[in-house]
């Protein structure tokens, strides 16, 4: 994290930003983001997250998956089909850096699959905060194509694994504006005593 930014500032100032410059991201910054994700908590220390870093022509892996999924079951043919493939494939080039995050749950008997997913989500939040502290804009993309079997095969994931995020990263085009949140008090219940009615 930048020495000029506190954790509280990073949490409050981070935003989901989809419009970024084409400027490549330095490998040292990418590794800082990956390191942040790798230090997320996980039950039984399973570290179930897996990272796939796509830059340059490497983004074609994602582009081809997007295109195949969009064309599956489509009635389009010929030029129309090629136009559909091209349009969907462009989704992979909306940022110079994309990090796909997957979870491969531990097969240990005492491990709960839902906790493995929660751990991967914690890793993603760490990565988003590290990206913001490094001066990058980011957005956590998901949606039905991300959960499609074709997306799994694109990254060599087995049946037991799940894709949980496509993080698009780059330097912001526009200034980052302050966000808004409702008060935490409206979402919080304080419990300091126990009564028989709660039993």
Spans of all domains in the chain: 7-198
Regions of the chain short of the pLDDT cut 70: 1-4, 199
Average pLDDT, the chain: 93
What is the reported pLDDT for 59?
Answer: 98
**Contact criterion met (CB below 8 Å) for 155 and 102:** yes
Record the pTM: 0.91
What is the reported pLDDT for 110?
Answer: 93
DSSP state of 16: B
**Contact criterion met (CB below 8 Å) for 140 and 165:** yes
Q: Is 94 annotated for ligand binding?
A: no
C-alpha dihedral sign at 147, 165, 19, 169: negative
The b-or-e profile of 89-124 (16+ CB within 10 A means b, else e) is bebbeebbbbbbbbbbbbeeeebeeebbebbbbbbb
Q: Is 59 annotated for ligand binding?
A: no
Which pair of tokens denotes residue 113? Answer: 């699959």
Beta strands in the chain (DSSP E): 49-55, 97-103, 137-141, 162-170
Summarize pLDDT for 41-93 with one digit per residue, the tens. 999 999 999 999 999 999 999 999 999 999 997 888 898 999 999 999 999 99
Q: Is 43 annotated for ligand binding?
A: yes
**Contact criterion met (CB below 8 Å) for 101 and 34:** no
User: Cα–Cα distance between 162 and 152 in angstroms, integer?
Assistant: 7
- Of 3.40.50.2300, 3.40.109.10, 3.40.50.720, 3.30.360.10, which CATH number belongs to 7-198? 3.40.109.10
Q: Is 14 annotated for ligand binding?
A: yes
What is the reported pLDDT for 5?
Answer: 79
Q: Is 12 annotated for ligand binding?
A: no
């Amino acid at each position: 994290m930048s020495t000029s930014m506190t954790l509280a500032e990073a949490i409050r100032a981070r935003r989901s930003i989809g419009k970024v410059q084409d400027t490549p991201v330095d490998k040292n910054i990418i590794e800082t983001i990956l390191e942040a994700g790798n230090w997320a908590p996980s039950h039984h220390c399973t570290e179930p997250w897996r990272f796939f870093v796509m830059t340059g022509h490497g983004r074609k892996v994602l582009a081809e998956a997007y295109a195949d999924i969009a064309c599956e079951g489509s009635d389009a043919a010929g030029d129309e089909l090629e136009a559909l493939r091209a349009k969907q494939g462009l989704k992979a080039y909306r940022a110079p850096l994309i990090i796909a995050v997957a979870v491969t749950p531990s097969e240990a008997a005492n491990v709960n699959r839902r906790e493995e997913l929660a751990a991967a989500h914690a890793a993603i939040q760490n990565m988003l905060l590290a990206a913001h502290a490094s001066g990058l804009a980011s957005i956590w993309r998901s949606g039905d194509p991300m959960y499609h079997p074709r997306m799994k095969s694109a990254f060599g994931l087995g049946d037991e694994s799940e894709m949980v995020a496509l993080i698009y990263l780059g330097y912001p085009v526009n200034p980052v504006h302050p966000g808004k949140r409702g008060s935490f008090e409206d979402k919080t219940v304080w419990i300091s005593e126990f009564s028989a009615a709660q039993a």
